[in-house]
Amino acid sequence: MTGRKRMSPERLRLQVILIEIQEAIRLLLRGRLQHPALLLMYSFIDICASLVRPASVRGNREIFENYLKNFSTIRWRLFTPFELWAARSSLLHSYSPLGHNTGPGSARALFYYSHPDTKEVMDAELKARGYTNYVVVDIEQIHLVTYDAFNQVLFRMDDDEEFEKHVVANGQDILAELKHFKLGDELAAADRLIKAAEAAGGPLRVRRELQVKAPQQARATSVRRLQMVRASVVLGRPEHALHEIREGRSHAREQRYFGEHLKMPGHLEDADIYDRAMDIAERWLRRHASIGPSGDPGPPAIRG
């Protein structure tokens, strides 16, 4: 473990792009467009699998399954990584639950339901239509796999600098908009300023501000984001501080959504930690920078 204090600008740019895909998935789910959301979920797993793939693992199926086996923490009771691969392939290629890898002696087909529908009603409907050798899955279970494995990638990147470099190198040509290129340039410039500020005044310590008992990963993530906010405030870059706060709030909403929908108390506890950290960050920002009524940062009021 390296114990590094902040993410590199290259990683931040990559992470922003990936989080935008996650946000697109959430928007589709909120709009009751579940199956289009599934397309993005399976694509997102593919993207993340390609970013972490070891050089020794080749072939799309092997890359996909290797990623899930090594990074997802779910217990694979409802379906296997191979069945998820089969579902991914049939959905992406023909928008169908049935494909070359499903059928007797192979993977079971995955059919999906979502609230307010129930598994029992969907199962009865499929049986009445003659379907066999299938599994009925709550779409949120696929969403959870997507989210869970990605989080494990982020946690490992936090702890392993060489792994972070590997992921960033694999993602250097990821599809980016002009705003992402500009963001990368701004983050690189901000990183140079933060290093200069730390060289002049010492490290930006924030742990004492977050006096809570929390899982190590949730606490570490919150502390790191607080450090980025404080550094941005100290250097008179409220726009970067505001960006970090928005990302932190988004992360908290994600955790709370899974905690409430899937009855997972740990996610609710993490959400409380992230929200508390962002409350602290917002107090810093209000104290040291002027923020306009639209949420846009104004000129910094205090520097250093």
List the domain boundaries for the chain. 21-148, 204-295
Cα-based distances in Å from 65 to 50, 95, 148: 11, 21, 15
| Mean pLDDT computed over 270-287 | 80
Taking residue 241's Cβ as centre, other Cβ atoms within 10 Å add up to 27
The C-alpha atoms of residue 140 and residue 34 are separated, in whole angstroms, by 9
254, pLDDT greater than 60 = yes
- Amino acid 136: pLDDT: 94
Query: How confident is residue 19, by pLDDT bands cut at 50, 70 and 90?
Result: confident
The H-assigned helical ranges of the chain are 9-30, 34-52, 60-71, 81-94, 119-128, 139-159, 161-170, 178-201, 216-234, 238-261, 265-288
> Tokens for 241?
């501080």
Render 142-163 in DSSP notation, one character per residue: HHHHHHHHHHHHHHHHHH-HHH
The C-alpha atoms of residue 202 and residue 267 are separated, in whole angstroms, by 34
The predicted-structure confidence for 26-77, as pLDDT tens digits, reads as follows 889 888 999 999 999 999 999 999 999 988 888 899 999 999 999 998 888 8
Of the listed ranges 2-6, 85-89, 91-95, the least confidently predicted one is: 2-6
243, pLDDT greater than 90 = no
298, pLDDT greater than 60 = no
Helix (H) or strand (E) holding 136: strand 134-138
Q: What is the pTM of this model?
A: 0.65
Please give the residue that has the higher pLDDT: either 230 or 211: 230
The C-alpha atoms of residue 162 and residue 234 are separated, in whole angstroms, by 30
- Name the nearest CA neighbour of 300 among 290, 281, 229, 240: 290
Please give the residue that has the higher pLDDT: either 258 or 136: 136
The predicted-structure confidence for 119-162, as pLDDT tens digits, reads as follows 999 999 999 999 999 999 999 999 999 988 998 998 888 888 89
212, pLDDT greater than 50 = no
195, pLDDT greater than 70 = no
21, pLDDT greater than 50 = yes
214, pLDDT greater than 60 = no
| Mean pLDDT computed over 90-104 | 89
263, pLDDT greater than 90 = no
